[in-house]
Structure 1
């Protein structure tokens, strides 16, 4: 069954969510997992793409937009199904992925912004309704 975790950040800084996504993507990639980062919209995909280029000066995180290479080690996308089975989904969107069962692990990154907190609480309940056992991780 898919492992689901909600990583909770202590502040409401939107850039903090993107930095956490970069850290988690780097960690997943280093452990040999294909990583799919599901963004809220195309603008967030572009912002994350730029951040991934400069995130680690000592090591490049290989990534591509889904349209350019859905088989890249780290893929930035929206509603697409993962091209690689059993990958890690880092969900930055406010809704559940329509492809939950195709991932071995899902991480939702939550900060203290009120609208995001409400959406993530709804997602937590939806996962439970669908038979998953989501966990909360304080960062």
Structure 2
């Protein structure tokens, strides 16, 4: 059963949420875990792809979009089934992934934007209803 964590940011800025996703993806990759970054739409996936190239000048995070290389160490996609198992899912979509069970860890990144807060609260309840024990982590 995957470990579910909600990382809560103090700001409402969407850019802070994407940056946190990149930092968490880099950390998981450095620990040898495959990462699936699940965006909410293709525009956000493209933004994540671009940000991973430049968010840390001194570091490189090997990544690719799902349609370009589904076996990259860090894969950016939507609802495609990930090829790797037991890695980390970083969910930026307002809905639960249909593939939660494929991961050993699921991270939901929450900011203070009202609509996202509502969606994440619903996700938290949904995880509990499915028998998971989600945890809250303040960033």
Residue pairs, 1:55-66, within 5 angstroms: 55-66=55-66
Equivalent residue number for residue 98 of structure 1: 98
Instruction: Determine the structure 2 residue equivalent to 1:129.
Output: 129
Matches of 2:77 and 2:107, distance apart in 1: 15
Partner residue in 2 for 1:47:
47
Structure 1, unmatched stretches of 5+, are: none
Matched pairs, number: 139
Cα distance in 1 between the residues matched to 2:114 and 2:29: 31
1:81 Cα deviation (Å)? 1.3
1:6 and 1:119 mapped to 2: Cα distance?
12
Quote the Cα distance in structure 1 between the aligned partners of 2:104 and 2:82. Answer: 11
Runs of 4+ residues over 4 Å off in structure 1: none
1:26-83 per-residue CA deviation (whole Å, 9 max, x = no partner) reads 0000000000000000000001111100011111111000011111000000001111
Backbone CA RMSD of aligned residues: 0.4
5 Å-filtered alignment, 1:29-44, equals: 29-44=29-44
Given the two structures, how large is their TM-score scaled by the length of structure 1?
A: 0.99
